[in-house]
């Protein structure tokens, strides 16, 4: 049996299981300018800005525009806002910018009940859905970009290394867009504790991608164990941050999702460590057996009545449905751990005859000594990629119809 990320030999007809889903959240959608814009059109700087924002609006209005296309339009627009001389002042009165919460109109009632993050940008606008400040426009557009990057990462096909890398990069970019809003004297968008939890979640998910790459690339089990251990730590930290919020982001499934992944990667870390120990042979097999027994106990606790992997963990049908892919991944991991444990116990009984230490006597597994993923600097996030239209003449990426 093979865990979620293992790329072992399999029959040609068999396809690897889908990776566990990534969390994303609805952001903001740009609205068209209201009222007379003739004065702004005569201003050279604002005319370029209006042209770039038109592409953002087009992406907002197009049901077929992908998250990657929306993010490209927002990047182009933010470069214009950043470069504008109008940024030197707090506001301008020639244009009134307007945004709305992302999501279908038919889902507004549901989104309002389930989501606080989707309306965070409105808190920064100061005038409901409209404002005239370019500083505020920068912050709201940056928030919208972070949301689109997170959505693009969640949509990536991570069955291959290229898709994993793209998802990892998008998550680091999303975290960087959020971090920049908090640190560069721009207008803060919404509750900062909530957005800090979002930033930490994006980085935890990016490190999860890094683990997928490590396993797919055949990295040593000892290294994979350290990465998995760090992923578990990071998800536990996000779980604590979410629990301290007065308003929960998105919906209740977020907390259960990150708690379930923390348990999953705790067990995964023990599995990888046991494999590293078994490779070392005599003197290490007893500990390997104990590590595998610990992995089983972690998965058992997670799947209990009060555990995040249990079927009764949530009374909400929508929350339970959102956790199904994580529970399926944990079930696959459980089978793999059991197979590894049976093999290790058999080796120990027939060959090594080593004492198996008690699970509670084991030392805590080491995590990473340095960070493998970091928030992307905003300068790199907004850098004009090859093939994207130049902005000197107000160009912007083309949205497919």
- Percent of the chain exceeding pLDDT 70 equals 77
| Same domain for 311 and 202 | yes
| Same domain for 310 and 199 | yes
CA distance 399 to 13: 37
**Which whole number is the average pLDDT over 45-66?**
92
| Same domain for 360 and 223 | yes
| Same domain for 230 and 140 | no
Q: How many domains does the chain have?
A: 2
Whether the per-residue pLDDT at 243 is higher than 60: the answer is yes
Residue 135's pLDDT is what?
87
- Percent of the chain exceeding pLDDT 90 equals 58
| Same domain for 200 and 149 | no
| Same domain for 214 and 348 | yes
- For residues 51 and 89, the model is more confident at 51
Q: In terms of Cα–Cα distance, which of 227, 229, 249, 226 is closest to 239?
A: 249
- Summarize pLDDT for 266-293 with one digit per residue, the tens: 999 999 999 999 999 999 999 999 999 9
CA distance 129 to 28: 10
- For residues 13 and 94, the model is more confident at 94
Instruction: List, as one string, the DSSP characters of 238-285.
Output: HHHHHHT-SS-SS-THHHHHHHHHHHHHHHHHHHHHHHHHHHH-TTTH
- Is 310 within a domain? yes
CA distance 135 to 23: 28
The pairing of beta strand 130-131 with beta strand 97-101: antiparallel
Residue 75's pLDDT is what?
96
- Is 124 within a domain? yes
**Which whole number is the average pLDDT over 77-83?**
91
- Is 186 within a domain? no
| Same domain for 204 and 84 | no
Question: Are 168 and 125 contacting, i.e. CB atoms less than 8 angstroms apart?
Answer: no
- Is 397 within a domain? yes
Residue 185's pLDDT is what?
35
- Is 11 within a domain? no
How far is the CA of 71 from the CAs of 143, 164, 185, 352, in angstroms? 11, 18, 23, 57
Residue 247's pLDDT is what?
64
- Is 291 within a domain? yes
- Is 326 within a domain? yes
Q: At what angle do helices 317-347 and 285-302 cross, to 10 degrees?
A: 160
Residue 105's pLDDT is what?
43
Instruction: Pick the range with the lowest mean pLDDT from 40-54, 56-70, 233-247, 374-388.
Output: 374-388
| Same domain for 211 and 149 | no
Whether the per-residue pLDDT at 114 is higher than 70: the answer is no
| Same domain for 103 and 235 | no
Quote the mean pLDDT of the chain: 83
**Which whole number is the average pLDDT over 305-333?**
83
**Which whole number is the average pLDDT over 124-145?**
76
Residue carrying structure tokens 């509670």: 360
**Number of Cα atoms under 13 Å in the Cβ half of residue 94:** 14
Q: In terms of Cα–Cα distance, which of 117, 154, 99 is closest to 325?
A: 154
Helix, strand, coil distribution of the chain in percent, nearest 5: 60, 0, 35
Residue 344's pLDDT is what?
98
- Is 322 within a domain? yes
| Same domain for 227 and 145 | no
pLDDT bin (cut points 50, 70, 90) of residue 63 is confident
Supply the CATH number for residue 359's domain: 1.25.40.280
Domain extent for 34: 27-156+384-401
pLDDT bin (cut points 50, 70, 90) of residue 10 is very low
| Same domain for 213 and 287 | yes
| Same domain for 273 and 334 | yes
3-state secondary structure 274-327: HHHHHHHCCCCHHHHHHHHHHHHHHHHHHCCCCCCCCCCCCCCHHHHHHHHHHH
Residue 202's pLDDT is what?
97
């Amino acid at each position: 049996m093979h865990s979620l990320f293992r790329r072992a030999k399999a029959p040609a007809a068999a396809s690897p299981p889908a990776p566990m889903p990534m969390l994303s959240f609805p952001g903001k959608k740009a609205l068209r300018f209201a009222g007379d814009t003739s004065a702004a059109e005569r201003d050279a700087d604002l005319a370029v800005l209006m042209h770039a924002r038109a592409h953002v609006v087009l992406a907002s209005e197009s049901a077929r525009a992908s998250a990657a296309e929306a993010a490209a339009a927002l990047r182009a627009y933010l470069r214009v806002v950043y470069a504008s001389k109008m940024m030197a002042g707090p506001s301008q009165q020639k244009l009134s910018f307007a945004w709305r919460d992302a999501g279908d109109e038919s889902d507004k009632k549901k989104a309002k009940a389930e989501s606080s993050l989707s309306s965070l940008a409105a808190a920064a606008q100061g005038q409901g859905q409209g404002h005239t400040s370019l500083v505020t426009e920068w912050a709201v557009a940056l928030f919208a970009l972070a949301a689109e990057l997170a959505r693009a990462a969640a949509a990536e096909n991570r069955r291959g290394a290229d898709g994993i890398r793209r998802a990892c990069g998008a998550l680091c970019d999303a975290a960087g867009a959020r971090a920049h809003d908090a640190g560069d004297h721009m207008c803060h968008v919404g509750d900062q504790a909530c957005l800090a939890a979002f930033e930490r979640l994006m980085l935890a998910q990016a490190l999860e991608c890094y683990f997928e790459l490590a396993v797919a690339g055949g990295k040593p089990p000892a290294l994979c164990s350290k990465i998995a251990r760090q992923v578990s730590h990071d998800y536990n930290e996000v779980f604590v941050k979410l629990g301290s919020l007065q308003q929960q982001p998105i919906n209740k499934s977020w907390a259960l999702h990150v708690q379930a992944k923390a348990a999953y990667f705790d067990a995964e870390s023990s599995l990888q460590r046991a494999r590293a120990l078994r490779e070392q042979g005599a003197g290490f097999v007893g500990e390997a057996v104990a590590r595998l027994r610990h992995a089983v106990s972690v998965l058992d606790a997670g799947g209990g009545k009060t555990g995040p992997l249990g079927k009764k963990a949530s009374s909400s049908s929508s929350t339970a449905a959102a956790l199904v892919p994580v529970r399926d991944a944990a079930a696959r991991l459980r089978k793999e751990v059991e197979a590894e444990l049976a093999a290790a116990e058999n080796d120990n009984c027939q060959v090594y005859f080593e004492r198996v230490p008690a699970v509670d006597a084991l030392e805590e597994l080491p995590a990473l000594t340095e960070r493998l993923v970091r928030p992307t600097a905003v300068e790199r996030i907004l850098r004009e990629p090859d093939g994207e239209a130049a902005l000197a003449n107000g160009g912007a990426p083309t949205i497919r119809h």
